[in-house]
Structure 1
Amino acid sequence: MGVKAQTAGDVVCRLKVSDKDSRGSPSWRARYSLQGEKAEHFSIQTDPDTNDGLITLTQPLSFKEVSSLSVIVKNEEPFFYCRVKGRPKHGLWHVDYSRGRSSSFTLVSLPLQTLDRDARVSVMETGPMLEPSELYTCLSEKMVNITAVDADRHDALKFQLMGDAEGQWRLEYNGGSSVRLIKESMAHTGDHTLTIKISDSLGQHSLHSLSVHVCDCQLSENCSVRRKIQINSAAVTAIAVSFMLLLGFSLMMCQIRVNKSPMKFSTNVPQIPESSLSHDLSETDNMIASLIPTEPTLSSCM
């Protein structure tokens, strides 16, 4: 940078910086300072619109005098960086963090390598994902491969089997992003739920639940098909049992109603006094008719 001798009050240099934080935020606005043997001859201020550093000569310099200046640049808000160490199910996350680091460089126009904090935190929070999360295997099979997908594209992944699985399951590293799940002698047929911890090279980790269905393939060639048949059979059985229970409940309600409202039958048989009965069997029919009371009847007129 060349400066005219015996002049003062002029802007002698515009220093450009770049910052990927939100424009106009405290994390984006730059603060400049000068260091050097002739630093008292200069001042530097920040252009609020462009964030450039404006270097102004405040005291005249001698002719052909050579000096060097160092420019220190930092944000209004201190730099913050955190690394997630653990994600407990309850409570706050465990993090390592640092604060207050600044970036500095000489008067030469160089881009300011300021970390985009928001973007970095977003990437750091994305841990490896397990694919798939459900497996079917035969009892006779000893090994099955499982794979993890890392959005950060870290090649080296570490797998760890959590919980009490000794004697039933173990992991054997396969290199890269896959691992072998080894079934041992104590693993029985049925459903197993395993918890696997996957870590990347930056120390970020995630816990995943893996469902493993083990069946005897001598009874069914396809373990998953047999499981679907079992599920369908169980559903049909449940429907039939529900129907029988509903039918029995309906019959019971009908029986209760019948007991509360019984049907009554009565026969009105006229009582004939013994004194009115004739012992003379030779009496005429008219006399018998007069002795037996009858219900009145209505006859039509001819």
Structure 2
Amino acid sequence: MDENGDLLGETYFEHLNGADLYFEVVPPANESETNESDETPTLIYLHGGPGYNSLTFRDLVGERLTAYRVIYLDQRGGGRSGPLEGTEQGSDTLDLDTLTADVEAVREFLGIEKLTPLGHGFGALIALEYARRFPAHTNRVIVVSPWVHFPDLALTLLEEASARRNVALDDPRAEVVARTPEGQHPPVGAARIEAAFGLLNARDLLNALHFRDAPSRMRLEFADVEGQLMGGAEVQQALVNQGLWEFEYPPFLAEIKKQVYVIAGTHDRTSYPAQVQWLADLADADVTLLDAGHYPWLDDEDEFIAALEEAVRR
């Protein structure tokens, strides 16, 4: 621990799975009492964004997670990890398969037998896919404010933008499907998001849907500025270039053999109720709802920690 009583972690900057990855491993408070047979859960935090970082979550709630070993990973291209290589092409270096393989590479490097993926927002996709692909190395999977169906999410954003501009909803789906050649995938999600951001800029639109109130938004913005990690645009564009807004994960949910736990805020309209319902219906997920927004630890830290502890220990 440091002079303030905060747990100190060991930081790594390693070239794994073809990328320079930054991650920090923070031991449990009782590490001196553990041994090789210790069953202390190891959580790996998979941040949202995409292209965000794990620093703000670590700074805001890390001191409340002292019962676990926690890995804070900055996903490739984001936070303190190395920049994407060949960003203009992007699709060759950034996809769900690659991001999931990065998590497995970190696990192998650290020599940890099992992980509990803890994914937030976009990071929920990585957490779920890791549990599906590597069940032998997964205890359970916990997702917070999950995004799993991006065409649906794009429609939610378009509906909100239309309402705020006081214009009728004009869903381009039918037009896109009609002009798409037979046998090709109609880019409905991309058309919806383009229409939404044409009505209202992305930041204002997401702020309107994410936060319960202004103080929560300001608290996150302050933490971001203090951490001086504001990037992510290259990662976001790379994912858009490879069809992020067409991605639909629900068909894979039934293949996950580990218990799925969902923590969601009822004020986060990007995730609740539509995205959460996919998990409840198809993954038989255990859902805990909080009076909170997209970042529930900002609105009620105690309730969020209690929900997380329940998900880890049940």
TM-score by length of 2: 0.18
Whose relative contact order is higher, 1 or 2, with alpha carbons under 8 Å and at least 6 apart? 2
Considering fraction of residues, name the structure with more strand: 1
Decide which structure has greater helix share. Answer: 2
TM-score (norm 1): 0.19
